[in-house]
């Protein structure tokens, strides 16, 4: 039975590196998704921001999506396709709905969507039981965000759930 394993990272560069490690380990690019904010990538140069090299098939497929409540993100893989369909069809759920369709409960889906909204990136992998340990070792080896701690930080700031009607996150200007 296929399981979806997802981790979030504070920056796009780490998430991209994880995708390259998954590729090097033989994980099919059709089973890997990446959604996130790449501060160096503008609306017209998503593939350039992806870089050339490992995981070329998936990373070359990076595109820009404007997701309600999140804003522009770079995205590739099955999760991105689901999100793009939801956005194009104005379907309820957007990115949260994509995570739910990918096998996450609503709380987990809301957390991952909020992480992307806040500037982070998410890597999600569909895998068979015999490959779970390898996939988890790669995802966890890149020091993902501790979900328990991050959710506590969100809640301390007044967050209750992901709101796709909220404006895109804008980091404070320093």
Q: Which of 13-22, 45-54, 113-122 has the highest mean pLDDT?
A: 13-22
- pLDDT given at position 170: 56
pLDDT of amino acid 13: 92
- Name the pLDDT band for 1 (thresholds 50, 70, 90): confident
Q: 83-125, pLDDT tens digit by residue?
A: 544 444 333 357 788 888 888 999 999 999 889 888 899 999 9
pLDDT at 128 over 80: yes
Long-range contacts of 76-83 (CB under 8 A, 24+ apart): 76/33, 76/34, 76/50, 77/29, 77/30, 77/32, 77/33, 77/34, 77/124, 78/30, 78/31, 78/33, 78/102, 78/126, 79/33, 79/34, 79/35, 79/122, 79/124, 80/33, 80/34, 80/35, 83/35
Q: Where are the domains of the chain?
A: 3-156
């Amino acid at each position: 039975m296929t399981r979806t394993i997802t981790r979030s990272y504070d920056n796009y560069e780490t998430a991209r590196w994880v995708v390259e490690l998954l590729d090097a380990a033989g994980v099919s690019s059709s089973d890997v998704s990446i959604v996130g904010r790449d501060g160096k990538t503008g609306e017209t140069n998503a593939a350039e921001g992806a870089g050339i090299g490992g995981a070329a098939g998936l990373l070359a497929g990076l595109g820009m999506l404007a997701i309600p409540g999140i804003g522009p993100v770079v995205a590739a893989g099955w999760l991105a396709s689901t999100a793009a369909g939801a956005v194009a069809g104005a379907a309820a759920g957007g990115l949260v709905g994509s995570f739910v369709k990918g096998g996450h409960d609503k709380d987990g889906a809301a957390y991952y969507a909020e992480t992307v909204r806040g500037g982070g990136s998410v890597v999600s992998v569909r895998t068979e039981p015999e490959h779970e340990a390898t996939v988890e070792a790669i995802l966890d080896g890149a020091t993902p965000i501790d979900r328990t701690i991050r959710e506590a930080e969100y809640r301390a700031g007044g967050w209750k759930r992901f709101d796709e009607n909220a404006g895109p996150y804008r980091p404070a200007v320093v």
